[in-house]
Structure formats: structure tokens, C-alpha cells
Structure 1
Amino acid sequence: MSTHQPPMPQAPGAPDRQAAPGGSYPGYTSPIPVVRTHLGHALASEWTKIRSVRSTIWTLSVFVFLVVGIGLLVGALVSAHASESSLSGTNPLSFGFFGVLVGTMCVITLGVLTTASEYGTGMIRTTMTACPSRGRVLAAKAIVFFAVAFVVSLVSVGFVAMVQSSMLSGSGVESPSGADWFKATVGVSLYIALLGLLALLVGSMIRHSAGGITIMIGLVLAPLVLALFMATESLHSVRDFLFEYSFPSQLSVFYDNTLSGSGPQGWDPLWIMLGLTAAAGVGAYALLRNRDV
């Protein structure tokens, strides 16, 4: 008697089963199309994350408030109390420096939180599971953050520059040239965005929000504070170096109002910041590849 039985009919709607490539056991073909992921998917994911968390809204709101509020306050005080003789030859855009300097603390904070907060919540495991290419994840975070920081900075400092220039017109100040406008808006925004990107990379290396923010604030403020207390002649060269290459001093170069008479000039601070950020990027990528998440 034959024991062979005909195959059971397949139920309607059931997935097709076929032999797996290179094997004789039954395989499975998913009805869902498999799409090869690329950088665009990682960018979309990071954009969704950065615009949907509260820290982004709060830090950028405070940044705009400080840059615009302090900038307009300084412009109003100078316009009301300074004489035409004291303002003669002064670039009116330079008064935006004070608000930008305070506001950079917000960009630094957001930069660190963009990477370090995922390690604190454990979200980084989900991110790396969805996108195993760690370099792609880091690149997507950097691109999205840089774009957001640059646009918000450009709108804020551009608005302050226009209002301050209008406030101080006719007060003896000089009329800014096109190059002055470009440096005080685009140049400053690029510098702030790179500074925030440096904070993002430090956060990726430290993997701790409070530690990363503390390190970045120390890097920004400590050199200038230390230089103020170096009054002895033997430390004169060290003091000058700290003054010239401190972050506040380099930021003031974009307003043609340096804290020291020497040091970086023109667009030099931007290239210095670009070099620091590139070095931090190499270190962050190396650590991300070699450490567990």
C-alpha cells in the first residue's frame, strides 16, 4: 500500500514558501519589500528625533531670547546714553556680540544632549539596531544638528544686526560694509553651529550629558578666566595666548572687535574651529566603532 499523500492545498492569502537559496529546507519570502537603507533614512530619523523632543524647543527658544533680548537691550542702551563722539567710527553690528556669547551656552547644551541623552535613556540601542552603520548614524546627527543650529543662529543674529543698525543710524556710527554684514551674520552663525557640533561630538565621546556640558563650558570659558588672573610677567606669553585663542575672543573677531590686539584675524577663527571639530569627529567615530552601545 502506498503511503504517499498529496500536498495540502495552501490557504488563500498565505505567504508563498520556497526553498531558501543554497539550502533544501523550506524558506520564507516576506510580502513586505526589503529596502536597502541609506543616509537619507538616517537623516529623516534624526530630524524626527531632534524636532520632537522638548530639549530642542527649550534650548533654542532660550537661545533666541538671549541673543535677541540682550542684543536689542545693548543697542537701546548705547543709543540712549552714548554720545556721537564716542560712537564715531564704531561698527554698529559689534554690539550683537554680548547676546551671542551668552546664547552659545544653549547651543552647546543642545549639542551635547543630541548624542549623550540617547545613552542615558537607552535609545541608542534602538537607533543602532535600526541602523547598524554607526558612522552613518553619527553623520546624520551631525548634519541635522548643524543645519538646525545654523538656521536658527542666522535668523537670530540677522534680526539683531538689522535692528541695531537701524537704532544706531545717525548716532555717529559708521555704515557697515557688505563684508561686515556677511561676517556678523553668516560667519557668526557658522562659528556657533560648529561650536555646537563640537559639543555634539564631545557628548558622543563622553556619553554623559552633565559631563559633556561641563567639559564644553569649561573649554569655552576657562581659558579667558585663567588669563584674567595671570598678572605676573613670567606668564605674559601664556596669558596672551589664552586671550587670543579663547572662544569669546575668536567670536569677537567676526565683529571686528577683538579682545586682544593680536591673534586670529578675519576668517581665521572659523578655520580653527573647523579643525577642532574635524579632530573631534575622528575621535568620536573611532570610539563609536570600538565601544559597545
Structure 2
Amino acid sequence: MTAQSSLPQRGVLRSFLPGRGVLRSEWIKLRSVRSTYLSVLFATLVAVVLGVLATSSDASNWATMTAQDKAQFDPLGDSFIGLIFGELAFGVLGVLAISTEYRTGMIRATFSAVPQRGRVYAAKALVVGVVSLVLGMLLVFGSFFLGQAMLSSKHLEVHLGDPGVLRVVLSAGLYLFVVTMIGFGLGAILRHSAGAIAALVAMLWLAYPIGRVLDHLSYLPSRILLFNIADAITRTHAATGKPALRIPSLELAYSSLALYLVVFLALGAWRISRDA
């Protein structure tokens, strides 16, 4: 590649590199809106409360469980049962981080201050991504430790040093991060909070029955659904029986998550480069 041909590519790259001022501005915006705190509070309450209730119920009813139920018992799965709903709150956080500016018209002032839209988008994505990753990890580790504390009375708990446990906990936090960024991408693409949240709900939950309908043709559609990807990466043991046909391998699950992340961020970047 010649030096001349590499110059346009370098210019495109620079247009997506946010400066400190842009990053600081986006951080102030994110922590200044009430929806940020409400989303995080909802996710925390749902994830922690449901996880504690599920694991405490397991501990209380362990003596009366059947042998089959005991064999299928998953201490991690019950600790993270609240993330099924908590993920929506993280996704909504991503949506509102960008769609709110379009709803209020503030985006025009943002682009007036920083005409390079790529830098604005990159700064927003970086701030939202870092915040969601940190909060997601805090949430899953908190859910894990509280859940295991409930199970410890019956000696059913697992520890981070046990095989596969740390991977599962980290994967749960990573999943929340990806869902947040999918919501962020949807917010940039649709520029309408309600529409983007509806699309997010469809991706998280409503796509599941569609995948079931297509199972008689191929299990691949089910295996790349977010619902089943989450199931795959939050297990220490592989699924068994017919439901296992819908659960992707770890390799497919992680590569699908990466594809979701790249596609939605790329589509959002393309959309934000259009007319505001």
C-alpha cells in the first residue's frame, strides 16, 4: 500500500478518535440523566432479589428435592436468574444514552460543538461501554457472592476457584455489556426510544419462539439467539437432552456475541453519519 493511499484511511480513523473534551462531555451527560440511575437501580434490584430468592429457596427445599432435581441443580444458574430481566435494564441504558438526545433535539447542539460525528459516536460508545462493563461486572459478582451465601447453609455453594466458575461469572458480565451496546446501536439506528426498546425486547425474548418454529428446519437460528447464547455462556456443564440442541457451543456463543457487538455498533456509526 502506498503512502498516498493510506492517507484517506488514516483520516477516517482520526474522525472516530474522540478527544478528552468529548469524552468528558459524554460522561457528564450520561451521569446527569435520571434514566441512567433508574436503569442501574432496576437491574440491581431485580438481579439481586430474584437471585437471593431462588438460591434461598433451593437451600430450604433441598431435603425434599427429587434425585433428578438434585442432579440438575445449577448453583450459578439460580444465582443469575434475575439477569433475565436485569439485561433489559442494561439494554435500555444503552438505548437512552443516545436516543434521548434525538428526542430532545440536543443532538444538534452536540454536532454543532463537535462537527465530526464519528468522534461523538465513538465517545458515546466508549463511555457507555466502560460504564456498562464496570457496572455489569459489579452486579454479577455481587449476585454470585450473595447467591452462594444463601446456598452455603446446605454446603451447596461453589467458589470462584472451582472449574469453570470464574469464566461463567465473567461471561455474565460480558453479556450485560454486549446487550447494552446492542441497545446503544439500536438507539443510534432508530433514533426513537420506544421503537429501539421494542426492538431490543424482540431480540432478547420475542425471537425465542420464532427460533423454536424454525427448529424443524435447522437449529442454527436458535443457537444464535441472545437468549440461548446467555444460557450457553452461564453454564459450567453442557446442557443435555433435546434442549441442548438449541444451545450453541461456547465457541459459537462467544463468536456470535462478538458479531452482535460489531454489527450493531457499525450500523449505529453508519446511521449517525447520516442527517441528524
Counterpart of 2:177 (choices 170, 187, 193) is 193
Deviations 1:157-202 (A, max 9, x none): 1111112223223636474544533223221111111111011011
* Structure 1 residue ranges, 4+ long, deviating more than 4 angstroms after superposition: 176-179
Does structure 2 conserve the Cα–Cα contact (< 8 Å) formed by 1:188 and 1:251?
Answer: yes
How many residues in Structure 1 have an aligned counterpart in Structure 2?
251
Distance 2:264 2:136 in 1: 22
Distance 1:174 1:268 in 2: 29
Does structure 2 conserve the Cα–Cα contact (< 8 Å) formed by 1:108 and 1:196?
Answer: yes
Counterpart of 2:34 (choices 54, 60, 83) is 54
Q: CA RMSD in A?
A: 2.4
Q: Tell me whether 1:100 sits opposite 2:118 in the alignment.
A: no
Residue aligning to 2:151: 168
Q: Tell me whether 1:246 sits opposite 2:225 in the alignment.
A: yes
TM-score (norm 2): 0.82
Distance 1:71 1:61 in 2: 15
Question: Which protein has the larger Cα radius of gyration, Structure 1 or Structure 2?
Answer: 1
Q: Tell me whether 1:217 sits opposite 2:201 in the alignment.
A: yes
Cα distance, 1:60–1:170 mapped onto 2, change above 3 Å? closer
Distance 1:71 1:144 in 2: 28
The letter of the residue matching 1:59 is: S
Map residues 1-293 of structure 1 onto 2, 5 A cutoff.
38-83=18-63, 85=67, 86-88=69-71, 90-169=73-152, 171=154, 173=156, 175-176=158-159, 177-228=161-212, 230=213, 236-238=216-218, 240-256=219-235, 258=239, 260-262=243-245, 263-266=247-250, 268-289=252-273, 291-293=274-276
Cα distance, 1:267–1:166 mapped onto 2, change above 3 Å? farther
The letter of the residue matching 2:110 is: T
- Cα offset for 1:143? 1.0
Distance 2:158 2:180 in 1: 31
TM-score (norm 1): 0.78
Does structure 2 conserve the Cα–Cα contact (< 8 Å) formed by 1:223 and 1:242?
Answer: no
Distance 1:236 1:116 in 2: 38
- Cα offset for 1:227? 4.2
Distance 2:113 2:41 in 1: 31
The letter of the residue matching 2:231 is: S
Does structure 2 conserve the Cα–Cα contact (< 8 Å) formed by 1:252 and 1:258?
Answer: no
- Cα offset for 1:137? 0.8
Cα distance, 1:166–1:88 mapped onto 2, change above 3 Å? farther
Q: Which structure dedicates a bigger proportion of its chain to helix?
A: 2
Does structure 2 conserve the Cα–Cα contact (< 8 Å) formed by 1:201 and 1:281?
Answer: yes
The letter of the residue matching 1:194 is: V
Cα distance, 1:136–1:38 mapped onto 2, change above 3 Å? closer
Deviations 1:61-86 (A, max 9, x none): 00100110111111111111133744
Cα distance, 1:170–1:72 mapped onto 2, change above 3 Å? closer
The 3-state SS of whatever aligns with 2:152 is coil
Identity %: 25
Unmatched 5+ residue regions in structure 1? Answer: 1-36
